[in-house]
Amino acid sequence: MNPNISKARELSLDKLVYGALSQLQVLQYNPRSIRRYQTVWRKFLVYAQQRNHKRKLQKHLIIDFLAHHEIDPQLPVEVNKGWKLHAEFALTLLWRYARDGYFERDKQYVKRLNVPAAMQKSLQDFKTHCEEECYLRPITIVQYMREVGAFLDFLSKRNVTRFSQISPEDLSDFVYSLSHYRRKTVASRVSIARIYLQFLFYTGKLSRDLSDCLPGVNFPEHASIPSVWDKELLAQLLEKVDRRSPRGKRDYALLLLAARLGLRTTDIRKLTLDQIDWAAETITINQSKSGMPLQLPLTDEVGSALIDYLKHVRPATHYREVFLKLQPPIKPFADTNKLYTIISHWRDLAGIRFRSPQKNGFHSLRHTLATELLEDNVPFSLIADILGHASMSSTMIYAKASVESLREVALRIPEVENVEQV
């Protein structure tokens, strides 16, 4: 474990806030933004002191603080005024710092990075190459531009302002600078940097192909076991959703699309009214990941939740996306939104605790459905069809999760000493 992570997790609240404020300065937040975070964190410290909470940060304390001040970011913007408007995000940032020992800007656009002047045109040329020759999806291009921009920003900090100055040592140090990320994230960022370096060589910006100088980051496909929910915990999550409130009606339908139909987060977010055939009781989409068509049955449970949301919550609007934000301006979720705050909100209210650390976002609900189908002896081919897998090998990974679940159950059974029968 990164020593900064373990150290941050043990900090008292006042020292944690001090460290988070220092991180804001390192990331060059403007003074106004820093004062905004400082105001929220100061009020949070006072609240903790009033309750004689002197230990490390705990999530239930954040939930209690927001409830105490009647802060609900899902309500119209005029309800949460002043410091309350940014309270939840400020505390989320503090939680990230306590958990990981650092945080970064959520939206780090290329235009905010320090890209040397001599390299800026190549960045635009690379974007055109991705669009017109590689036919990458817009959201993938955004990711590529962000990562390449960060790579060039790293070089500029080392006073590398021209492509001819890039050395193998620079590339090795770039990979080392990513060491606090998970291996999968590092592998992705290094891969994008490698593609960009190849582009520079083939377009004559580099006299030699430096992509081979980037150290390899091995991340075997299907090396990890998918995170799945226990059936009891999933039932507890869905039961906790307040289906009387506008937020609950919307979020319940969102959760069911992942937990019962196994839709990916992107496909849920982009689901349109035109893709729901009420007469045929089906949902038909073109999957964002593969572009392949997928048709799923609209079950009574999912259909009822959708109708409840559409009839009582969703306003009349020109948008065709099914799910919209509740806080004005009313519009669809951003392409980068993973909907994590939705599942974490109800999970925390339900007081759910996992036996061991695991991923617990929307995609874990998809994993859970696949594992449940496997345990019900549904054929792999049918599971692949339900999940929209282009290859059976993608489905086979869930056999790992099923076996691992059985292993955990076995480990929880206390050993019984052999008793000699008389």
**Annotation says 105 is catalytic:** no
Catalytic annotation, pick one of 180, 289, 331, 359: 289
Q: Residue 208 and residue 333: Cα distance in Å, rounded?
A: 43
Catalytic annotation, pick one of 363, 367, 400, 412: 363
Please give the structure tokens belonging to residue 149: 């921009």
End-to-end CA distance of the chain: 52
Q: Residue 190 and residue 196: Cα distance in Å, rounded?
A: 10
Q: Residue 313 and residue 414: Cα distance in Å, rounded?
A: 50
**Annotation says 60 is catalytic:** no
Catalytic annotation, pick one of 36, 250, 264, 270: 264
**Annotation says 355 is catalytic:** no
Task: Specify the pairing of strand 276-277 against strand 293-297.
Answer: unpaired
Give the closest residue to 313 by CA, choosing from 270, 253, 258, 261. 253
What is the residue type of 380?
F
**Annotation says 366 is catalytic:** yes
- What is the helix (H) or strand (E) element at residue 277, kind and residue range? strand 276-277
Indicate the SS3 state at residue 117: helix
Cis peptide before 3 (omega within 30 of 0): no
Catalytic annotation, pick one of 36, 270, 366, 367: 366
Q: What is the CA radius of gyration of the chain?
A: 24
* 138 backbone dihedrals φ, ψ, rounded to 5°: -55, -40
Q: Where are the beta strands (DSSP E) in 2-122?
A: none
**Annotation says 68 is catalytic:** no
**Annotation says 42 is catalytic:** no
Catalytic residue numbers, as ranges: 264, 289, 363, 366, 389, 398
